[in-house]
Structure 1
Amino acid sequence: MNFWEKITGSDMTKEMKAFEMRAKKLPPDYQAAWEKINAHLWPHSDFTGRNLMPILDGVLGLLEETAADGQSVEEVFGDDIKGFCSALAGIDEAKSFRDKWREQLNNNVAKKLGK
């Protein structure tokens, strides 16, 4: 990745298009699960979203493997896709903007109080 791609985000655009092409090859129920997972993971991104690219790649790989094995989406994720995404983001320590701002505010208050 060169400087220009990093500044413009064109590398991420290419990667997301590749993810979408891979997702279109999945069965319809897996495509719906991919859309839900994608929607639930993005709030855990950093400013650029680059921290989610390996996570999204891994989840899409999991979907491809389980679809090839003939498992249903419910067998893979259960009924709680949102919980799966939260656990996944927590495992990889992907903090949302809100978490970062809360931590920064707490640190600033602690400095002002002299702790």
Structure 2
Amino acid sequence: MRIQDIIEGKKEWRGHMARVKALPRDYQIVYKELQKYLFKVGPVELTDGMGLLSGIIDLFEEGAALGKGVLEVTGRDVAAFCDDLIKDSKTYADIYQESADQEVCKAMKKVTDKTK
């Protein structure tokens, strides 16, 4: 990664966080929880740019402009809202599960080959 890419990424992140800080307080609180949740369970693509997070801010800005409370936008189950956003995305948990399955298959193949 080039230094210029790092600088641009930081500028993009600062702009992103400025948008978050401009939201009403209830939206900021929920956004930070969504962000934490997505960083823990989230999709692999989350680290490949700001698409999903920017989309959430777009949705929140629209909801705030319409005078809606944040839970009117996300629903009461914020984790379910996140899960719905990433339901078709590959997560780190998926990668880990695939890796574990592959290791078990390799080990079982070795056991099977030895018994033949």
Residue 109 of structure 1, CA deviation: 2.1
Aligned partner of 2:95 in structure 1 is 100
* Partner of residue 35 from structure 1, selected from 29, 32, 40: 32
Instruction: Describe the SS at the equivalent of 1:71.
Output: coil
Aligned residues: 109
Q: Give the partner amino acid of 2:34.
A: I
Match of 1:82 among 73, 79, 82: 79
- Aligned twin of 1:65: 62
17, 24, 29: which is aligned to 2:14?
Answer: 17
Secondary structure of the residue that 2:91 maps to in structure 1?
A: coil
Please say which structure displays the higher CA radius of gyration: 2
TM-score, with length taken from structure 2: 0.77
Query: TM (normalized to structure 1)?
Result: 0.78
Q: Structure 1, unaligned stretches of length 5 or more?
A: none
CA RMSD of aligned residues (A): 2.5
Percent identity, please: 29
CA distance, structure 2, for counterparts of residue 71 and residue 35 of structure 1: 18
| 1:69 Cα deviation after fit | 1.1
Distance 1:52 1:83, change over 3 A: farther
* Alpha-carbon distance change, 106 to 88 in structure 1, aligned in 2, over 3 angstroms: same
